Amino acid sequence: MKILILYTYNKGLLSSFFQELSEKIYQDGYEVVNFYLKHREDFFVQNGVRIYGEKRSGYFKNYYRIYKFVKKEKPDVVISNFSYINPAILAGRLLGVKSNIAWFHTAYGHTKPSVVKVLNKTLYLNMANLVLANSKRLQEEMHTIYKVPRKGTRRIPFWTNICNYNPCANTLNALKKNDTFKIGCPGRLVSDKNHQTVIKAISGLKSKKNVALYIAGNGSYKQELETLVEQLGLNSQVVFLGNLSIPEMVAFYKSMDVVVLPSYHEAFGLVFIEALAIGVPVIVSSKFGALDFIDTQQFSLNNFTFNPNSVSDLVNQLQLYVENNGVASAFFKDLYLNTFDKELIYQSIKYIITNPNPLD
C-alpha cells in the first residue's frame, strides 16, 4: 500500500508531527511519500520516506502540479490538510484514488469564512472518503456547517515532539529572573488569540510580587496590544519577545511560572499540549478543542480553564498561582501522558489509514 501525505514541510512542530507520522507508517511496512509546495523544488529521503517539494505558483498551476504528482505516484491513500485539501481531493476523485482523506484543522469561528468559501469547502469535503477532525467541536462543524455525513468523519488528536528539543541556552538565561513571577502567553498576535484579556488581567492582579508577562509571537495586532499596555501603565511588566524558534520556545515554557492560553477559538491548540508535555502549569481558555479528549473524571477542567470573555475569571486563576496555591506542574505532565499518548494516537491513525472502511 502506498500512502501520500500532503502538508507544509518546515521547521514547525506541526510539520514535525506529520514527518514522524510518515516515518512510523513507513517503519510498519508501508510505502510513504510526502509532497509540499514551497519557494523552490526539492527532493530527499528522510528515514525511508520520499519527500518531494515543488515550486509554489498560481492557483491553477498549484492544482495542476498536485494532480500531476498524484497521477505519477498512483497512491492508494491520499491525506491532505490546510490549502492542500481542495486540490488533493479533486485530483484523488478524478484519478480514482481508493481512499481520499482530508485532515481538517481550522475552526469556523477562528477564520469566519465567507458564504462562498463555506460552499466551496462543503463541495470538496463531501468529495472525500473521510474527514478527520482534531476535536469534538470541529467534528460537529463538519456536520452542521459543511454538511459532511456523520459516518464520514472521525476525531483524532495530535501529539507533540517538543520534548525532543533542547532549550536554547541564551533564551533560558535571558528569562531567568528569580525575583519575578513570570507569566507566559504564546501565539500569533491577532485579535482572536485574545492577548488583550491577559494584559488586562495583569493590571487587575493584587500582588506584592514582581509580576511580568512575556508574550511570544508576532502579528498584525501588536500595535494595538502595545497601545493597551501603554494605557494601563504596564510597560515595565509586559515584554514582547517576537517569534521564537522551537529551542527558544522550549526555553520559554521552562522559564515560566504559568502559561496562559486565552484564545476565543482553537480547533485543537498545539500550544496547549506543548506546555503540558513540558509540565509547565497552564491556564487555558475553555474554547480549546484539545480539552475534548480529556477524561474529566480524572482531570477536572475547573482546575485550569477559564472563560476567555471574562478578565475577572482569569485574574482569579492567576492570583492562585501568584500566591503559590495553583495546580502543581506534575498534574499537567500526567494530564499529557494520560491523554495524548503518542502510540495510542498513532495506532488509531494507522487503523483509519490502512482500513478501507474504518467506520464500518
Could you give all domains of the chain from N- to C-terminal order, each with its CATH number?
2-159+341-354 (3.40.50.2000), 162-339 (3.40.50.2000)
Residue 330 identity: A
Q: N- to C-terminal Cα distance for the chain?
A: 20
Residue 193 identity: K
- Among 76, 15, 25, residue whose Cα is nearest residue 47: 25
> Would you mind telling me the total number of residues written for the chain in this entry?
360
Residue 88 identity: A
In the numeric block, which cell numbers belong to residue 19?
514527518
In the numeric block, which cell numbers belong to residue 166?
533542547
- Among 196, 182, 259, residue whose Cα is nearest residue 232: 196
C-alpha span between 217 and 174 (Å, rounded): 17
Q: In what order do the strands lie in the sheet with 282-285?
A: 238-242, 210-216, 180-186, 258-261, 282-285, 305-306
Residue 240's DSSP bridge partners are 215
Contact of 200 with 229, CB cutoff 8 Å: no
Other CB atoms within 10 A of residue 93 CB: 15
> Kind and range of the H or E element at 111?
helix 108-111
Residues 6 or more apart from 142 whose CB is under 8 A from it?
104, 125, 131, 133, 148, 153
Residue 154's DSSP bridge partners are 132
At 13, give phi and psi (nearest 5°): -75, -30
The DSSP symbol for 290 reads: G
Task: Give the per-residue pLDDT at 62.
Answer: 96
Q: What is the pLDDT along the chain (360 residues), one digit of tens a residue?
A: 999 999 999 989 999 999 999 999 999 999 999 999 999 999 999 999 999 999 999 999 999 999 999 999 999 999 999 999 999 999 999 999 999 999 998 766 656 678 898 999 999 999 999 999 999 989 999 999 999 999 999 999 999 999 999 999 999 888 987 789 999 999 999 999 999 999 999 999 987 679 999 999 999 999 999 999 999 999 999 999 999 999 999 999 999 999 999 999 999 999 999 999 999 999 999 999 999 999 999 999 999 999 999 999 999 999 999 999 999 999 999 999 999 999 999 999 999 998 856 444
In the numeric block, which cell numbers belong to residue 228?
493597551
Report the b/e string of 321-351 with b at 16+ CB within 10 A: bbeeebbebebbeebbeebbebeebbeebbe
> Kind and range of the H or E element at 182?
strand 180-186
Other CB atoms within 10 A of residue 127 CB: 15
Other CB atoms within 10 A of residue 181 CB: 20
At 300, give phi and psi (nearest 5°): -65, 125
β 282-285/305-306 pair status = parallel
Task: Give the per-residue pLDDT at 105.
Answer: 83
Task: Give the per-residue pLDDT at 360.
Answer: 44
Strands (E), 2-76: 2-6, 31-38, 42-46, 49-55
Task: Give the per-residue pLDDT at 117.
Answer: 87
